[in-house]
């Protein structure tokens, strides 16, 4: 069984921008129930379907499969919950870990988060200077929730 152990943080400043080139992602959800999500996404010219179970602590089951790009585009257009999540992802290596910084566009413009996958929930790590407040336990920051409650609609 595949498991994902992930922590999520807000990003501060712009120092991270010089560390990686962004890759364009378009993703949508065929099912965004908290018990399970079914996500489809394009990453440049590749496409994937991912099924995730509920988060328990910082861990959840995750299964990912490559799918035909053209079919994914059709599903994003005709089957996925709207709006589609659009973002650039920057992969940044720091202290033996890979941080994924997501800069959101469209209805989630202004949101920038960094995620790091860990081997265990209690794994210690050093946060880069551009990593701010932890939001791992805040469901508003789950990509699946950004569809129904976009960042630009939040009270600031």
Catalytic residues, which ones?
29
- Spell out the residues 6+ positions from residue 138 whose beta carbon is closer than 8 angstroms to its own: none
Beta strands in the chain (DSSP E): 3-11, 23-33, 36-43, 46-52, 59-66, 85-94, 97-104, 112-117, 131-134
């Amino acid at each position: 069984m595949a498991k994902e152990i992930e922590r999520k943080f807000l990003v501060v400043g712009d120092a991270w921008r010089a560390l990686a080139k962004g890759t364009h992602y378009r993703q949508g959800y065929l099912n965004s129930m908290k018990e399970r999500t079914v996500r489809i996404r394009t990453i440049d010219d590749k496409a994937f379907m991912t099924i995730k179970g509920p988060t328990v602590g910082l861990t959840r089951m995750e299964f990912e499969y490559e799918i035909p790009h053209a079919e994914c585009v059709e599903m994003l257009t005709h089957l996925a919950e709207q709006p589609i999540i659009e973002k650039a992802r920057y992969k940044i290596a720091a202290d033996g870990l890979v941080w994924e910084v997501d800069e959101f566009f469209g209805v989630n413009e202004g949101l920038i988060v960094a995620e790091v996958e860990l081997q265990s929930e209690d794994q210690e790590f050093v946060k880069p200077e551009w990593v701010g407040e932890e939001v791992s336990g805040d469901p508003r920051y789950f990509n699946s929730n950004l569809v129904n409650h976009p960042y630009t609609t939040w009270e600031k």
